Amino acid sequence: MLSYTEENYLKALLKISFAHGDLGVGTNELATVLAVKPATANDMLKKLKEKELVDYEKYGKIRLTASGKKRGIDVIRKHRLWETFLFKKLEFSWDEVHEVAEQLEHIQSEKLVDKLDKFLDYPEFDPHGDPIPNKKGELKVQFKKTLADVAVGSSCKMVAVKDNSSSFLQYVVKVGLGINNEISVVSKQDYDALTVIKVNGVKSSVSQKFAENIFVVCNNCVVGKSCPKTKCEIK
């Protein structure tokens, strides 16, 4: 049985791995994500190594073992199922679900997770567009392309958000954006990449930082695979 804290370390390691491929994770990086000091993370990593949930050499990069990865995915599965429950069944808005799911993800009951999954009719994506791992731990490939990659004159579909903070999510709503919306890129400033987009006929300006936090696909893209079109409008 893993502690609340151990589960959070595994989840953080997994999320960092998703973000930057195969080249292991650093102690400081992990500590930053978990908002603890490197010394603290270092202590915990020793314990996780002892339990064979992570593997690394002293002063080397950290990687999850197969079992560590499975445990981490289970936590993410629970997190996203609970977010979906709060959003779909309890009328929470998409910027409110994350905080509560941070607590709910640590409830230990396999039956509860499976029943919740069934109750929600086996959802594939959470309210932020993130894929929900299934019972076996299989996870749809995460999205890679963002609104910042879309060429001027092209259009795309918003599929997820990268930043899950309540402030960003509320801003997204204010700009008139949401999951599955069609976005046209009207123009882009050379100097600072300030971008004019059109959503449902309404134009707005968004910053580079904003655009990088909106995951999109082009209309020919196959989610999780490369675009079959020879000249995809998205890099």
Interface residues with DNA (CB under 7 A) are 3-6, 26-29, 35-40, 42-47, 56, 58-61
Give the nearest residue (CB) to Mn ion: 98
3-state secondary structure (DSSP) of residue 180? coil
- Nearest approach, Cβ of 104 to its own copies (angstroms)? 6
Site size with its own copies, rule: CB under 8 A = 18
- Nearest approach, Cβ of 207 to its own copies (angstroms)? 31
Choose from DNA, its own copies, Mn ion, none: what does 58 bind? Cβ within 5-8 Å by kind: DNA
- Pick the closer one to Mn ion by CB: 83 or 117: 83
Residue 136 binds its own copies (CB under 8 A): no
CB 7 within 8 A of CB 102: no
CB 96 within 8 A of CB 164: no
Place of tokens 């930053």: 32
Choose from its own copies, Mn ion, DNA, none: what does 209 bind? Cβ within 5-8 Å by kind: none
Q: Looking at the chain, which runs of residues are DSSP E strands?
A: 54-55, 63-64, 155-161, 182-188, 195-199, 202-206, 214-217
Task: Candidates 10, 13, 86, 172: give the one binding its own copies (CB under 8 A).
Answer: 86
Task: Candidates 108, 187, 200, 219: give the one binding its own copies (CB under 8 A).
Answer: 108
CA distance to 38, 77, 127, 136, 139, per residue, from 32 (Å): 8, 23, 26, 30, 25
C-alpha–C-alpha distance, residues 217 and 36, integer Å: 36
Choose from DNA, its own copies, Mn ion, none: what does 116 bind? Cβ within 5-8 Å by kind: its own copies
Q: DSSP for 23-76?
A: S-B-HHHHHHHHTS-HHHHHHHHHHHHHTTSEE--TTS-BEE-HHHHHHHHHHH
Give residue 222's region: left, alpha or beta (phi > 0; psi -120 to 50): beta
Choose from Mn ion, DNA, its own copies, none: what does 89 bind? Cβ within 5-8 Å by kind: its own copies
Task: Candidates 19, 39, 90, 223: give the one binding its own copies (CB under 8 A).
Answer: 90
- Pick the closer one to Mn ion by CB: 68 or 129: 129
Task: Candidates 23, 50, 58, 111: give the one binding its own copies (CB under 8 A).
Answer: 111
What is the pairing mode between strands 195-199 and 202-206?
antiparallel
Binding residues for its own copies, per CB under 8 A? 86, 89-92, 96, 99-100, 103-104, 107-109, 111-112, 115-116, 119
